[in-house]
Amino acid sequence: MNGDATATIGPGGASRASGLGPARDPAFDRATALHVVAASLLAWLLDACDFFIVLFTLDDVAHSFQVSLQSILLAPTLTLLTRPIGAFLCGHAADRYGRKPVMIATIVVYSVIEILSAFAPTVTVFLFLRALFGVALGGEWGVGTSLLMESIPRSWRGTASGILQAGYPAGYLLASLLFLLLPVVGWRGLFILGGGALVAALYIWVRVPESPEWLQRHRQQGTDAVRAPGLWSIVRNNAALCLFAVTLMAAFNFMSHGSQDLYPKVFLGLERGLPHPTITLIVVLYNIAAIAGGLFFGVLSQKIGRQYSIALAGILTLPFLPLWALSHSAFWLAAGAVCIQFCVQGAWGVVPAYLSELSPPSVRATFPGLAYQCGNLIAAGNALLQTWIAAFLGTGLAPALMLTVGGAATVVVTLILLNATRYARSRPIG
């Protein structure tokens, strides 16, 4: 793969072949590094916010187009299905033409699509736009991650990883706040506000330089565009690595979606009978805990390594499952949800750094995002699986929630520790 050997996974999840190191450009100072961190966080936060605005307004959109809620539920499904396409297309472009221009283009595209969705004349046009939004949504994370990890000092990576991933629950919170404006601006107004993500593109254009590592490869090759390998080349030359990464990310996504998708409305609302204000409070609390968890385990990964930080977060998830799913009072349900999201999203907080360090250099914008989105695609049937388990057992959602999240956490911990053991055995003595 353009000289890249199949990566050997090193300490803390870092790849010996990755070449990912601290910024080497003398002009790249601390202030610039802070701008890169802020821009990557802002882009992912606003991307997530735009996605959640759709979920919050599904019934309003259905009423506006005079169709059933089931018809509008196709919108988030189509967005999830097209995310791997965006991860490959945008990642491939970023590996070839640079992180910064593709990052800006991706943000502009998803912002424009969000605004166009507000003016969709029919439900067919609306669904088509949401499918296109999925392409941009899938592309932004991988490109932003590669730009961030290649542009900051090595000692910052764990913290920056936690900050970046905290953008997802922070986007959830921002969408929740914007949703309060629904009676004033309507669902179309919320979509227009979502288009304000264009400010992130402007920020990157003005304040963020190109990845110094990409620039170095560009200068070494002496071409107008760095030659990036195709998808088949990536898989063929890194088959074991790709299988490991996609399986790991599928488990990660089952752990995340399994603890979030049905929990607020279906489990807390329908099964536990909690009132809407109480559910909203619990959602806010566990999203704050998710942000804190991502930051905590991201920083911890700088001290004990990526793999062991992820494993610790996964292991800590397991004893909190009964509190989270079997409780009946609002207080203990909230306590369980806070603990679970602290651990689940804490493990996720290490993922950007872990996948970037795992990736071969020439596909660092493609590989992490594609592995993430392919894993997400595999986990897309999480809600159906949980409802099927609940119906099969005839005991409500609680056992299904525990089985899926607990099973996914166990797979994450097992894969991570097996990989750590594999590296320890392959490391030369002395």
Can you give the CATH number for the domain in which 258 is found? 1.20.1250.20
Q: How confident is the model at residue 20 (pLDDT cuts 50, 70, 90)?
A: low
Q: What are phi and psi of 15, to 5 degrees?
A: -90, 130
The pLDDT value given to residue 8: 39
Q: Are residues 275 and 173 in the same domain?
A: no
Instruction: Name the domain boundary from 209, 224, 257.
Output: 209
* Residue found by looking up tokens 């542009």 in the block: 151
Could you give the number of structural domains in the chain?
2
Is the pLDDT confidence value at 82 over 50? yes
Q: Nearest-CA neighbor of 142 among 80, 85, 215, 206?
A: 85
Q: Are residues 48 and 118 in the same domain?
A: yes
The pLDDT value given to residue 226: 55
Q: How many CB atoms lie within 10 A of CB 16?
A: 15
Q: How confident is the model at residue 70 (pLDDT cuts 50, 70, 90)?
A: confident
Q: Are residues 59 and 192 in the same domain?
A: yes
Q: Nearest-CA neighbor of 178 among 164, 165, 195, 162?
A: 195
Note the pLDDT tens digit of each residue in 250-306: 999 999 989 988 888 789 988 999 998 898 899 899 999 999 999 999 999 999 999
Three-state secondary-structure class, residue 15 = strand
Q: Are residues 146 and 108 in the same domain?
A: yes
| DSSP 8-state class, residue 269 | I
The pLDDT value given to residue 61: 92
- 344 CB-near residues (< 8 Å, 6+ apart): 255, 256, 259, 290, 293, 313, 317, 405, 409
Domain span including residue 58: 30-209
Note the pLDDT tens digit of each residue in 131-163: 999 998 888 899 999 999 998 888 889 999 999
The pLDDT value given to residue 243: 92
The pLDDT value given to residue 225: 57
The pLDDT value given to residue 19: 53
Three-state secondary-structure class, residue 9 = strand
Q: Are residues 250 and 190 in the same domain?
A: no
The pLDDT value given to residue 365: 84
Span 42-52, mean pLDDT? 90
> Residue 340: inside a domain, yes or no?
yes
| Residue with the larger pLDDT of the pair 430 and 170 | 170
The pLDDT value given to residue 319: 97
Is the pLDDT confidence value at 22 over 90? no
The pLDDT value given to residue 428: 35
| Residue with the larger pLDDT of the pair 323 and 24 | 323
Instruction: Name the domain boundary from 209, 243, 270.
Output: 209
- 404 CB-near residues (< 8 Å, 6+ apart): 254, 258, 382, 385, 386, 389
Q: Are residues 69 and 160 in the same domain?
A: yes
CA-to-CA distance for 382 and 32, rounded, in angstroms?
40
Span 54-79, mean pLDDT? 86
Three-state secondary-structure class, residue 289 = helix
- Cα angle value 361/362/364 (rounded, 5°): 60
